[in-house]
Chains A and B, each alone.
Chain A
Amino acid sequence: MPRKTMVEAIRDAMDVCMKRDDNVVVFGEDVGYFGGVFRCTQGLQQKYGSNRVFDTPINESGIVGAAVGMAAYGLRPCVEIQFADYMYPAYDQIVSEAARLRYRSNGQFIAPIVVRMPTGGGIFGGQTHSQSPEALFTHVSGLKTVVPSNPYDAKGLLISAIEDNDPVIFLEPKRLYNGPFDGHHERPVTPWARHALGEVPDGHYTVPLGKAAIRREGSAVTVLAYGTMVYVAEAAAEETSIDAEIIDLRTLLPYDLDTIVASVKKTGRCVVVHEATLTSGYGAELSALVQENCFYNLEAPVMRVTGWDTPYPHAQEWDYFPGPARVGRALKAVMEA
């Protein structure tokens, strides 16, 4: 089977969708002729023409606002925000418009749009190239929020997102674009070519939204993770020899409660990990869900390992990023509790 990086898989997903459906259009800052600052749209304009793949003015509200208007017309825009850190100017259009259009018009108008944005840290991106704003989307009724962790899922989830009739926020962990990353920044990166999930079938396939995947089966503790933290959790389990069950959530909303609950009922323990800041982060929702649904099975408090409640720093990247050592300590603590 062909091997692809996450960048190639994402590009392939758009290619497949554009080929199948004339109504799919792709636009954003630098995505046209140049093919995107991360190369995710490389070659698409050449293939489909500038009617369907084009550069936009630097105006995030304009990008999403225009996409909402196009969707109301009947197109299926898949737009790019260059970095998730720059989605704030578009937040009004995302929250007040895209997310509510179906509801407020009683289905007369819908917003089947995908807003792709590179997210997460681990690349010395500093304050405005590292943020993980997923909780600002999962809190919004009417949005679906997706975070893939590997090329296979990235392609299948993005195709599902583009084909979905609701607005989808598609957060791409840019630290994973070229290979899995377990937080050991001192080691060389393994490319996707050497990872099983770097195998990406040609053509059309989907990974359903709202379904988690168990990345590592285990019996001692459940780890709820997504994006880069899936690999950090795998490394932590390995290094502590704790038999953790690692769940890659893939879709944060709607979430896969059944998979989460079944696992925690089995293990009796739960650690939630994400890069985003702690307070009111998505981990709080996960922790509450586990507590509400698994209270009588829990043998320890649910623990969270996350970014600190500070802006994402530059020089202190590895003190900030919740790496395998911190996750490992939490695994041990929850086992001893």
Chain B
Amino acid sequence: MSESKALSFHVPAPAVRPGGTPDFSDVKISSAGEVERPPVDVAPEKIREHAFKIIRVLDRNSQAVGPWAGLLSDAELLEGLRHMMTLRAFDARMQMAQRQGKTSFYMQHMGEEAVSCAFRKALEKGDMNFPTYRQAGLLIADGYPMLDMMNQIYSNELDPMKGRQLPVMYSSREHGFFSISGNLATQYIQAVGWAMASAIKGDSRIAAGWIGDGSTAESDFHAALVFASTYKAPVVLNIVNNQWAISTFQGIARGGSGTFAARGLGFGIPALRVDGNDYPAVHAVAKWAVERARRNLGPTLVEYVTYRVGAHSTSDDPSAYRPKTESDGWPLGDPVLRLKNHLILRGVWSEERHKQAEAEIMSEVIAVQKEAETHGTLHTGPHPSARDMFEGVFEEMPPHLRRQRQQGGV
């Protein structure tokens, strides 16, 4: 007869709540340059440790060190800095526009700018991203017109989505940016399908899937990993671990697993973790994974370790669930500052030039914003027609919809 005790129920909780002192002592940070850079055709089982360490290039003294360093020229790094600064300025203006009632909703990237901006530069024209709502850097780094982004956010007469989509749910086939869905994780398996199609056709283009830490718990995360593994699809599967899913700390999605990257190991998918606030590191790891895919070596899982500095969205108030100053304690710092300091150390940038660039970029963003507003904002000025609402449900409007449009009087 075995003696049985009462069971107890386990619900993970973050180390600190509002009022507490931020504590990231449980985040194990590898030092810059420490993690080895394997050949792209490495067998997944040889790099299991990469799923637990953190690949980093920029060290505490802003030096670029180790085997993942040195892939980008000064000009490329300066361009990267500009992209991140542009995204930050864009966020600031759109956040404010929402507060001013010019749109209903916005989601910012504060603290995560390096992830999408650096990743885009590892891709080629024709590759396809399947992003979430927090990778607008993919568009900015690819030169997608900011005006179109704002028009979408304002749902104005020039909104490329004709006012049908919630703000920030962009879409641009031309810029390799798949239409964003409100339903989490659905795009992850679609990215795998796109990559399978490219392989079926003997193409050379690859796909990238994107997901947040919280959304890895969705079934489609699993579906994507199974299909990617089975068919060795040319896809890079990105997990942006910003520690939070709205109010839910990452431990709720991660459970007992050491890291999110480690989820790839059971599928035989090589998995790497990278410092998401380290522009050159993100770029180097992205390049490695993209090259694997391009050389038909199959999928790679990449976890970007970062921190969601801002609120989840304009409808969220993080002070209700985490310490107000938590982001200050984040050990991986700020991606813009870190790259800025590195460029200063390299002698190609200065505090002055940074300030000047900040002002320049901001006035550029404001100028575009002014232009966008001449085409209307959500509640004022020109907007998409009610007729547009009935178009595009199908390729051709079926009779029942035509009747409804008539009833609607448009």
- Chain A: residues with CB nearer than 8 A to chain B? 25, 51-52, 56-57, 59, 61-62, 65-70, 72-75, 89, 92-93, 96-97, 100-110, 141-142, 144, 164-166, 210, 253-255, 257
CB distance A142 to B393 under 8 Å?
Answer: yes
How far, in whole Å, are A177 and B42 apart by their CA atoms in the complex? 50
Q: Is B181 an interface residue (CB 8 A)?
A: yes
CB distance B179 to A61 under 8 Å?
Answer: no
CB distance A96 to B194 under 8 Å?
Answer: no
- Residue among A57, A103, A144, A165 with most chain B CB within 10 A: A103
CB distance A103 to B197 under 8 Å?
Answer: no
The B175-216 residues at the A interface (CB cut-off 8 A) are 178-179, 181-183, 186, 188-198, 200-201, 207
In the complex, residue of chain B having the shortest beta-carbon distance to the beta carbon of A60: B223
Choice from A59, A105, A164, A255 contacting B179 with Cβ under 8 Å: A105
**Chain B min CB distance to A8 (Å):** 26
In the complex, residue of chain A having the shortest beta-carbon distance to the beta carbon of B189: A65
Q: Is B220 an interface residue (CB 8 A)?
A: yes
CB distance A66 to B189 under 8 Å?
Answer: yes
B371-407: contact bitstring with A at CB < 8 Å (1 yes, 0 no)? 0000000000000000000001111001110000000
Q: Is B321 an interface residue (CB 8 A)?
A: no
CB distance B398 to A69 under 8 Å?
Answer: no
Given the known interface contacts A69-B189, A69-B193, A104-B164, the answer about A57 and B392 at a Cβ–Cβ threshold of 8 Å is: no
**Chain A min CB distance to B359 (Å):** 35
Q: What total count of A-B pairs have CB within 8 Å?
A: 140
Q: Is B92 an interface residue (CB 8 A)?
A: no
CB distance B196 to A70 under 8 Å?
Answer: yes
CB distance A62 to B173 under 8 Å?
Answer: no
Q: Is B171 an interface residue (CB 8 A)?
A: yes
How far, in whole Å, are A95 and B222 apart by their CA atoms in the complex? 19
Q: Is B32 an interface residue (CB 8 A)?
A: no
- Residue among B179, B190, B394 with most chain A CB within 10 A: B190
CB distance A59 to B164 under 8 Å?
Answer: no
**Chain A min CB distance to B13 (Å):** 29
Closest 10 pairs (CB-CB, A-B): A69-B193, A66-B193, A65-B189, A254-B398, A69-B190, A62-B223, A105-B179, A73-B197, A69-B194, A70-B197
**Chain B min CB distance to A70 (Å):** 4
CB distance B171 to A104 under 8 Å?
Answer: yes
CB distance A108 to B192 under 8 Å?
Answer: no
Residues in A neighbouring B178, C-beta threshold 8 A: 72, 109
Given the known interface contacts A101-B179, A102-B395, A104-B165, the answer about A61 and B193 at a Cβ–Cβ threshold of 8 Å is: no
Residues in B neighbouring A255, C-beta threshold 8 A: 400
In the complex, residue of chain A having the shortest beta-carbon distance to the beta carbon of B392: A103
Residues in A neighbouring B198, C-beta threshold 8 A: 73
How far, in whole Å, are A66 and B395 apart by their CA atoms in the complex? 22
Choice from B182, B190, B399 contacting A66 with Cβ under 8 Å: B190
Given the known interface contacts A69-B197, A73-B128, A73-B194, the answer about A109 and B179 at a Cβ–Cβ threshold of 8 Å is: yes
How far, in whole Å, are A210 and B402 apart by their CA atoms in the complex? 14
Q: Is B219 an interface residue (CB 8 A)?
A: yes
CB distance A141 to B393 under 8 Å?
Answer: yes
**Interface size bucket, B side?**
35 or more
B108-137: contact bitstring with A at CB < 8 Å (1 yes, 0 no)? 000000000000000000001010000000
How far, in whole Å, are A150 and B331 apart by their CA atoms in the complex? 67
Q: Is B314 an interface residue (CB 8 A)?
A: no
Residues in A neighbouring B189, C-beta threshold 8 A: 61-62, 65-66, 69, 93
Q: Is B226 an interface residue (CB 8 A)?
A: yes
CB distance A103 to B190 under 8 Å?
Answer: no
**Chain A min CB distance to B198 (Å):** 6
How far, in whole Å, are A257 and B400 apart by their CA atoms in the complex? 9
In the complex, residue of chain A having the shortest beta-carbon distance to the beta carbon of B198: A73
Residues in A neighbouring B230, C-beta threshold 8 A: 56-57
- 23 A-B pairs within 8 Å (CB atoms) are namely A61-B219, A61-B220, A62-B220, A62-B223, A65-B188, A65-B220, A66-B189, A66-B193, A69-B193, A69-B194, A69-B207, A72-B128, A92-B183, A92-B186, A93-B189, A97-B186, A103-B164, A104-B179, A105-B179, A108-B172, A108-B179, A254-B394, A257-B399
In the complex, residue of chain A having the shortest beta-carbon distance to the beta carbon of B191: A69
How far, in whole Å, are A65 and B200 apart by their CA atoms in the complex? 16
Given the known interface contacts A66-B192, A96-B186, A102-B394, the answer about A59 and B128 at a Cβ–Cβ threshold of 8 Å is: no
Q: Is B227 an interface residue (CB 8 A)?
A: yes
How far, in whole Å, are A108 and B174 apart by their CA atoms in the complex? 9
**Chain B min CB distance to A301 (Å):** 23
Q: Is B37 an interface residue (CB 8 A)?
A: no
CB distance B186 to A65 under 8 Å?
Answer: yes
Choice from A61, A144, A210 contacting B223 with Cβ under 8 Å: A61
CB distance B171 to A105 under 8 Å?
Answer: yes
How far, in whole Å, are A65 and B223 apart by their CA atoms in the complex? 9
CB distance B400 to A103 under 8 Å?
Answer: no
**Chain A min CB distance to B135 (Å):** 16
Residues in B neighbouring A67, C-beta threshold 8 A: 193
Choice from B128, B161, B222 contacting A104 with Cβ under 8 Å: B161
How far, in whole Å, are A108 and B398 apart by their CA atoms in the complex? 20
Residues in A neighbouring B392, C-beta threshold 8 A: 102-103, 106-107
CB distance A106 to B160 under 8 Å?
Answer: yes
Given the known interface contacts A65-B186, A89-B219, the answer about A106 and B161 at a Cβ–Cβ threshold of 8 Å is: yes
In the complex, residue of chain A having the shortest beta-carbon distance to the beta carbon of B219: A61
CB distance A103 to B393 under 8 Å?
Answer: yes
Choice from A74, A107, A254 contacting B197 with Cβ under 8 Å: A74
Q: Is B169 an interface residue (CB 8 A)?
A: yes
Residues in B neighbouring A72, C-beta threshold 8 A: 128, 178, 190, 193-194
In the complex, residue of chain B having the shortest beta-carbon distance to the beta carbon of A70: B197
Residues in A neighbouring B200, C-beta threshold 8 A: 25, 51-52, 70, 75
Residues in A neighbouring B222, C-beta threshold 8 A: 59
How far, in whole Å, are A109 and B170 apart by their CA atoms in the complex? 12
**Chain A min CB distance to B214 (Å):** 17
In the complex, residue of chain A having the shortest beta-carbon distance to the beta carbon of B230: A57
How far, in whole Å, are A254 and B404 apart by their CA atoms in the complex? 13
**Chain A min CB distance to B193 (Å):** 3
Choice from A68, A107, A253 contacting B193 with Cβ under 8 Å: A68
Residues in B neighbouring A210, C-beta threshold 8 A: 398
Choice from A57, A69, A92, A141 contacting B196 with Cβ under 8 Å: A69
How far, in whole Å, are A221 and B226 apart by their CA atoms in the complex? 53
